[in-house]
Each structure stands twice: as structure tokens, then as C-alpha cells.
Amino acid sequence: MAKIKSKTNGTKKEVIVEAATRLFREKGFKAASMRDLAEAVGVEAASLYNHIQSKEELLQEICFKVANEFNHHLDTIDSSNVSSIDKVQAILRFHIRQMIERYELVIVADRDWKHLSDPYLSNYHNQRRTYRKRLAGLIEKGIEKGEIKPVDAPTVVLIMLHAVNGIESWHRSKEKISARQLEENMVLIMIEGLKA
């Protein structure tokens, strides 16, 4: 019987999570089966249960890994001593880089979190809502300080996050600009449009 080969300094569970991320992105959480996952890591389906309890456990791992990283970054930026517009720009750049460099992980968390069950579903949904409110709060502070145009902050957050999610089509494009050009263009359009 085949064994799960872990990467250097990585665990077998990490190999399974990585394979699940690819599989969920390609097929969607609902359509991906444990048999598909076992095939992707080169073991029998029953062997997976030595390392994980369920397919949903993998989705929880993916979603909360992404949520924790985004929240940690927001905490770091929010506590920094830079202008509000620079904070918004730093957060936008982080989102863009995550979508470029860790595309599968971010897409799965963003698309498939609705398949979590409670209490994980409620927890994740609350984290998403709180994150958006905090980001809108940064924009509102910038408006108060006169650094950002008087705009509706929740609308700005919505536009920014949807624009970043659009990077998915950049990944599929055969004729694409470089990742650096993409990031600079998005920042130019969105941040310059906010400056007072």
C-alpha cells in the first residue's frame, strides 16, 4: 500500500490539505470526493482517515488559515503609524499578492466557505463581516482626516474585494501582463481614485 509522501519539514496532513485545495479549486468542494483526494495523494481512501476526520475538516483548515492570515495582516497594518491611504494601499497590495501567489487557497476559502457547518460556518461568516467592517473603518478614518475622498466606505470595500477576486480571470488568461504590472495597475486605479 502506498504512503503519503510529506515534503521536507512538512506533515502528511499538510500534503493532504494542499492536494485538497487543488482539488476543491478544480472541482468545487461538493463535487470533490475522498476517493479523488486519495488518488491525488496516492493512497487508498481509507488511509486518509488516519490523518483527517472528514472532507469538511480540510475545508475548515483552508478557510481559517486564510482568515487568520488576512486578519493578522489587517491587525499589523491597522496598528502601524502610516496614513490611512497608505494603510488601505498596503491591504490592497496584500490581497492582490495573495490572489496571485496563493490563488488556489484564497479562491477555495472565498468560494466554498458556505459549505462549512456550524459552529464553523457562523464563525467564518462573522470573521468575513468583521473584516469588511474594519476595512471600511480604515477608509472612514481616512475620510475624517481628509486623506480620502468623501465616499461610501462599504462600497469601496465591495469594489476593491470584487476587483481582487477578478484576478481569477488573470490566472486563466493566455495573454496576461506580469503579476507586478497587474498589482501596480490595480493600485494606481483604486488608490489614486480614493485620494483626496
Single-letter amino acid code for the residue at 156:
V
pLDDT of 105: 94
pLDDT band at 126 (very low <50, low <70, confident <90, very high): very high
Query: Which pLDDT band, with edges at 50, 70 and 90, does 7 fall under?
Result: low
Question: Model-level pTM?
Answer: 0.88
Please state the rounded mean pLDDT for residues 100-121. Answer: 95
> CA 113, CA 58: separation in Å to the nearest integer?
11
In angstroms, how far is CA 105 from the centroid of its own chain? 6
- The answer, yes or no, to whether residue 5 has pLDDT greater than 70, is no
Q: Which of 157, 128, 139, 152 is nearest to 195 (CA)?
A: 139
State residue 6's pLDDT score: 53
**Whole-angstrom Cα distance, residue 32 to residue 65?**
20
Segment 170-194 mean pLDDT: 88
**Residue 10 Ramachandran class (φ > 0 left, ψ -120 to 50 alpha, else beta):** beta
Outline which parts of the chain fall under CATH 1.10.357.10.
55-194
Mean predicted lDDT score pLDDT of the chain: 91
Residue ranges of the chain assigned to CATH 1.10.10.60: 12-48
pLDDT at 30 over 80: yes
Q: Which CATH number does 12-48 carry?
A: 1.10.10.60
CATH superfamily name and code, 55-194: Tetracycline Repressor, domain 2 (1.10.357.10)
